[in-house]
């Protein structure tokens, strides 16, 4: 297929040149494949997979983001959605530029900037995945504490209760899944995850009708001080660009990726926006970083909402953490050498470290804001734009108008990253 062939005059991997390094690079790129490598994925299944990638725990924080930025920040939400859609398309163009040699996000970095680009993108991706996995544990701990308030146990002479107890319990539950190397079966929870997202929105509608009503309690039109936090959380909603190459590579007709990206982005944007508006209209400026924490205890819709929010983290934790454990195995030269025990030990150690971080920094909203401002913006905006310009501009493949647009997006991304990171870190430090 012509669209799948390289559009560059130079091949990405040259046989006989640094063969050992290239083999290692290919091995690393394969470790990034988080979804099933089904080269015959249909358009509908690709839409399902990509929607599951985009739709995530960011949904729980969009009402809080709206409360922070005010009603007018919805315009910024739409802008962020449009920018992330465009940068997703840039990733697809870079994938087509490299041909079959490009299988993961770090491969794009190497195509554009050499091995330094691969290392830079890989590092940011691993840190992002680590913090996302930590946010899963924070989410589970807070949600279960809401569902079973007052629970506590004595563990090794110490009293463990509340969020910390359920964070540890969640880690025990997901631990066996982290020992698996082939996690492709977890991709089939895509439909379940999307149904869970819809169920959360339905629970908010139920809560509004049953309890508070939709009285537009939030009267904050625009809050300039809260815009950095709002922007950062909006970027969290559209994260997942690091996995876009995987979905692209799995498609039967790669020309259709733009359609898949458009459909998935629109559907997820509508669900995000509806959740944000409903949550803010019900709880106003009192909405919490996790909207489920506003729901009254003991209600049926509260249990439904909390149970549905538990599905995605439990199903995705092992997938998110796998590239990190695989990379550690490769660095320690343990891959393929009695791998079972070594892999179990490494994944257990990584999980334990995320538990410690989750119990130390249990501030979901601020952590998600930090992830969105510093890491998601880098992966979803900065790297795609820089890689696209580096690959295509020297060959005259980018028009001046598009260069101006990409540079404008880069400026916006840098501003959001700097201001949002400073604001989120300031809030995190201020809570201690």
User: 234-275: per-residue pLDDT in tens?
Assistant: 888 887 787 788 778 778 788 888 999 999 999 989 989 998
Distance CA 51, CA 261 (A): 8
Do 318 and 176 form a contact (C-beta atoms < 8 A)?
no
Cα–Cα dist 243/224, whole Å:
33
Residue 154 phi, psi (nearest 5)? -95, 120
Phi-psi region of 114 (alpha: psi -120 to 50; beta: other; left: phi over 0): left
Please state, in angstroms and rounded to a whole number, the distance separating the CA atoms of residues 125 and 91.
15
pLDDT of residue 181: 63
* Domain layout of the chain by residue ranges: 53-430
pLDDT of residue 262: 92
Q: In the structure encoding, which two tokens stand for residue 402, read together?
A: 């598009």
**pLDDT for residue 294:** 82
| pLDDT at residue 250, as a whole number | 75
pTM here is 0.74
Kindly calculate the radius of gyration of the chain based on its CA atoms and give it in whole angstroms. 21
Q: Which residues contact 172 (CB under 8 A, 6 or more apart)?
A: none
Q: Count the neighbouring beta carbons within 10 Å of the beta carbon of residue 392.
A: 21
Q: In this predicted structure, what is the pLDDT of residue 90?
A: 93
Whole-angstrom CA distances from 56 to 51, 60, 171, 238, 296 are 9, 8, 19, 9, 23
Whole-angstrom CA distances from 7 to 90, 264, 280, 344, 391 are 14, 27, 47, 42, 10
pLDDT at 76: 92
Class of the domain covering 53-430: mainly alpha
Give the chain's residues under pLDDT 70. 1-41, 56-57, 180-191, 193, 212-218, 312, 315, 334-339, 362-370, 372-373, 427-428, 430-432
């Amino acid at each position: 297929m012509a669209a799948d062939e390289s559009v560059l005059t130079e091949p990405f991997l040259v046989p006989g040149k640094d063969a050992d390094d290239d083999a290692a690079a290919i091995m690393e790129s394969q470790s990034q494949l988080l979804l099933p490598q089904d080269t015959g994925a249909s358009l509908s299944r690709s839409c399902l997979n990509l929607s599951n990638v985009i739709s995530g725990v960011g949904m729980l924080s969009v009402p809080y983001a709206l409360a922070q930025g005010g009603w007018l920040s919805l315009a910024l939400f739409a802008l962020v959605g449009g920018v992330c859609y465009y940068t997703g398309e840039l990733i697809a163009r870079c994938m087509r530029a490299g041909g079959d040699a490009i299988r993961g996000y770090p491969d794009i970095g190497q195509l554009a900037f050499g091995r330094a680009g691969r290392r830079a993108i890989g590092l940011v991706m691993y840190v992002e995945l680590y913090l996302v996995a930590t946010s899963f544990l924070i989410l589970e701990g807070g949600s279960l504490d809401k569902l079973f308030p007052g629970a506590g146990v004595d563990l090794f002479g110490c009293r463990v209760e509340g969020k910390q107890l359920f964070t540890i319990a969640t880690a025990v539950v997901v631990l066996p899944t982290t020992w698996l190397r082939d996690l492709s079966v977890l991709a089939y929870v895509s439909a379940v995850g999307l149904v869970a997202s819809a169920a959360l929105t339905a629970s908010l509608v139920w809560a509004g009708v049953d309890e508070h009503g939709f009285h537009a309690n939030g009267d904050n039109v625009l809050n300039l001080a809260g815009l950095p936090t709002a922007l950062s959380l909006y970027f969290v909603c559209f994260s997942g660009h690091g996995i876009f190459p995987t979905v692209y590579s799995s498609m039967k007709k790669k020309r259709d990726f733009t359609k898949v990206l458009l459909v998935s982005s629109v559907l997820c944007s509508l669900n995000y926006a509806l959740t944000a508006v409903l949550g803010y209209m019900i709880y106003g400026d009192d909405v919490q970083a996790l909207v489920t924490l506003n729901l009254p205890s003991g209600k049926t819709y509260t249990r439904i909402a909390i149970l549905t929010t538990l599905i995605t983290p439990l199903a995705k934790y092992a997938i998110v953490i796998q590239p990190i454990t695989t990379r550690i195995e490769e660095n320690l030269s343990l891959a393929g050498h009695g791998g079972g025990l070594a892999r179990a030990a490494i994944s257990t150690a990584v999980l334990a470290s995320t538990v410690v971080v989750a119990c130390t920094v249990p501030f979901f909203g601020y952590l998600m804001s930090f992830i969105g401002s510093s890491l998601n913006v880098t992966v979803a905006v900065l790297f795609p734009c820089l890689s696209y310009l580096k690959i295509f501009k020297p060959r005259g493949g980018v028009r001046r108008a598009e260069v101006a647009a990409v540079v404008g997006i880069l400026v916006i991304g840098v501003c959001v990253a700097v201001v949002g990171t400073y604001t989120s870190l300031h809030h995190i430090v201020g809570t201690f």
